[in-house]
Amino acid sequence: MHFKTVASALVLSGFVAGSLVMPAPANADEHLPPIAKNVIIMVTDGASWGTWDMASYWEYGELGHQPYDSFPVKLGMTTTPLNTARTPQFSGVPQVDYDWTQAWDVTPVDTLDYRGNPNYFAGYEYIKKDYTDSAAAGTALAAGEKSYNSAINFDDFALPLDTIVQKAKAKGRATGSISSVPISHATPAALGGAQNITRGNLHEISKQMLDDGILDVWMGGGHPFYDGNGQLRDTPNYRWIAEEDLNRVIDGETPWTLISAKEDFEKLAAGIDLPTGPLLGIPEVAATLQYNRSRDPAVMGTDDTLPSGIAYIDSVPTLATMTQAALNVLGQNENGLYLHVEGGAVDWAAHANDTARIIEEQMDFNHSVKAVVDWVEMYSDWDETMLLVVTDHGNAIPMGPNSDTIPFEPVENRGKGELPGVLWHSGTHTNENTLLFAKGAGTEMLYNHIVGYDAGLALFLRHNDGAFIENDAIGMVMMEALEPVPLPASVIFLGSGLVALFAVARRRMNKLAA
C-alpha cells in the first residue's frame, strides 16, 4: 500500500478512535478540495407521484429499473412558495405551508375543484390548493430561498437573488442549463441563473442569459424559424428570444456558438468538435422537442412502439442526447461543472391529462438520468459528483382508475408496452409532497435539512420512512457543496467526526489506491 494512503488511513482512524487536536493555517481551506467538484440537478417538471410509475410500467412492466430507483438518498420535498401572489409583497413572511395530516386525509367530500371536477376526498382537495408555479419553485431550487409565484430569482422585496449558477461560475466551474421546453421558460431560466421580477419578461430573460457571461451551455426549445412539427415557418415567431438577440448570435456578434441541426447535437454527444466557448443549442422545432408535435398520424406518421402511436420528429435530438452533449462540453473544464437538466414537457402533458405523451416525456427524462449516471461512472466518480433528481412540483394528480372511491390508489400496471390505468384528478399544479432521489458527493447534507416526517410517503407511496425537506434546501445544499471543507484555526474532532471531511479523505485515499 502507498505510504500516503497508510498515513491518510491512520489519521482518519485517529479521528474515529478518539479526539485529535491539530493547528491549521488560516488559509488551509483554500487548499482543500470542494465537497463536490460537479453538481448536477435534474428536474422532471410537474411530476406527481404517479408520473414516475407510469413511465416505468410502460417501459419495463414493473418498478425498480430506473437509475434513480437505487439511489441511496430518498426524501420527500415540499414545494409551497413563500406566497401565492404574482408580484412582490414586501413582507418576506411565509403565507402558505404544507400539512401532511391534511394532505392524506381520506375523509370523503362532496366539493368541486376550479374546473368543476369532484374532489372525492379531503386530501385531494387540500393538495389542489396553494401550489407553486415553476418560477417560484425554480427560484427555491436555484437560490435556496422561497419567493412569490412568477419570481425568477427575485425575493419578496423585489431584489435579485444570486443562485447556484453565479456561485458555480465564481468558483471556476463550467455551467449549463438545458430543457425540453423553451430556453427562456421559467425552470431553465431560474436554474440557469436568470434574475427577473416576473417570468413573463421572456426577452429580458433570454437577453440576460446571453449577455451576463454566467452560462457556458444553454439548450432548449423555442426556435423562431420552426413550427411544432419541425417544419420551417413562413413567418418566424420570436416569442422566446428577441429577433435582435438571435441575430447577434447568428452574425457572430457574441461569443456564443449556435447549433440547431440534430447532427450537430449528436456529434457533441459523441465528443466530436467540442467548442471551447459558450454554446447555444436550439433544435429545429418550436416550443417543445416532441410534446407539441401533431396528433394526426396523417401528418407525422405512426410508430406503434411509442405510447401515443404517433411518430417522433426525425430532425430533433432527444433530451438524453442534449444531456450527453452538454456534459461533454462542460466536462472540458478541469475545475468541474454545474448542470441543470429539465424534462419540461412532462408538466405540459400533465396539464393536458395526456397519459401517452407524459410517458414519452418522462421516458426521455429517465434516459437523460441514465446518460448522467453513465458519464459520472466513466469520466468522474460519485466521490466528486453530486446528482439530484427531483420535480419542482406535482401536477394533475394521476392515480389509479378507482382512486375516486379508493383514496390514493396507485396507478395500475397493465404490463410492458401497455398504457397504465390512470384517473386524473386535476389539470394544474399541486402542493403534494414530491419525490427526491440523490446520489454522490455531499448528498448526505440533505439530511441536515429534514423538517418533518410525512406518514403518507411511507404508507401510501412506500418511498422512504417519511422524512422530507423543503425545496429551498436544494439550493442551500448545492451551494454548500461547492465550498471546501471548512477548517477552523484549531481543529477538534471527536469520534463522530465530520461527514463532509471524511468524504474528502475517503476520496483522496481511493485516488491514491488507484
Q: What torsion, rounded to 10 degrees, do the Cα atoms 217, 218, 220, 223 define?
A: -120
Mean pLDDT of 303-331: 98
- Asked whether 2 and 513 are in contact (CB, 8 A), the reply is yes
User: Which range among 226-235, 246-255, 505-514 shows the weakest confidence by mean pLDDT?
Assistant: 505-514
For residue 486, name the pLDDT band (cuts at 50, 70, 90).
low
Instruction: Please give the Cα distance from 438 to 386 (Å, whole number).
Output: 8
- Asked whether 477 and 436 are in contact (CB, 8 A), the reply is no
pLDDT at position 257 is 98
pLDDT at position 12 is 38
- Asked whether 182 and 221 are in contact (CB, 8 A), the reply is yes
Question: What are the DSSP calls for 52-115, one per residue?
Answer: HHHHHHHHHSSSS-SGGGG-SEEEEEE---SBS-SS--S---------HHHHT---B---B-TT
pLDDT at position 15 is 38
Q: Express the helix, strand and coil content of the chain in percent, nearest 5 each.
A: 35, 20, 50
pLDDT digit string, tens, across residues 14-50 = 333 344 444 545 455 556 889 999 999 999 999 999 9
> Does 337 score more than 50 pLDDT?
yes
Let me know how long the chain is: 514
Instruction: Please give the Cα distance from 327 to 373 (Å, whole number).
Output: 11
The grid cell for 244 is 435582435
pLDDT digit string, tens, across residues 43-68 = 999 999 999 999 999 999 999 999 99
Q: What torsion, rounded to 10 degrees, do the Cα atoms 68, 69, 71, 73 define?
A: 110
For residue 512, name the pLDDT band (cuts at 50, 70, 90).
very low
Q: 317-354: b or e for each residue (b if 16 or more CB lie within 10 Å)?
A: bbbbbbbbbbbbbbbeeeebbbbbbbbbbbbbbbeebb
Q: Which residue from 391, 303, 514 is spatially nearest to 46, judged by alpha carbons?
A: 391
Q: Which residue from 429, 355, 365, 356 is spatially nearest to 399, judged by alpha carbons?
A: 355
pTM score? 0.91
pLDDT at position 278 is 98
Mean pLDDT of 363-375: 98
The grid cell for 207 is 437577453
pLDDT at position 494 is 43
> Which secondary-structure segment (H or E) carries 476?
helix 472-481
Bridge partner list, 34: 484
- Asked whether 312 and 345 are in contact (CB, 8 A), the reply is no
For residue 339, name the pLDDT band (cuts at 50, 70, 90).
very high
Q: Which residue from 338, 388, 372, 380 is spatially nearest to 172, judged by alpha carbons?
A: 338
Q: 272-303: b or e for each residue (b if 16 or more CB lie within 10 Å)?
A: eeeeeebbbbbbbbbbbbbbbbeeeeeebeee
Instruction: Please give the Cα distance from 307 to 304 (Å, whole number).
Output: 7
> Does 492 score more than 60 pLDDT?
no
> For residue 130, with 0-12 CB atoms within 10 Å meaning exposed, 13-18 middle and 19 or more buried, which class applies?
middle
For residue 10, name the pLDDT band (cuts at 50, 70, 90).
very low
The grid cell for 218 is 444553454
Q: Could you tell me which residue, 513 or 315, shows the higher pLDDT?
A: 315
Q: Which residue from 386, 323, 392, 390 is spatially nearest to 185, judged by alpha carbons?
A: 392
The grid cell for 340 is 441543470
Question: What are the DSSP calls for 276-333, one per residue?
Answer: SS-EEE--SSSSSSSTTS-S-HHHH-B-TTSTT-BPPPTTS--HHHHHHHHHHHHTT-
> Does 318 score more than 70 pLDDT?
yes
Q: Which residue from 315, 328, 216, 219 is spatially nearest to 269, judged by alpha carbons?
A: 328
- C-alpha distance across the termini of the chain, in Å: 10
Instruction: Please give the Cα distance from 362 to 370 (Å, whole number).
Output: 12
User: Which range among 123-127, 134-138, 209-213, 510-514 shows the weakest confidence by mean pLDDT?
Assistant: 510-514
DSSP state of 441: T
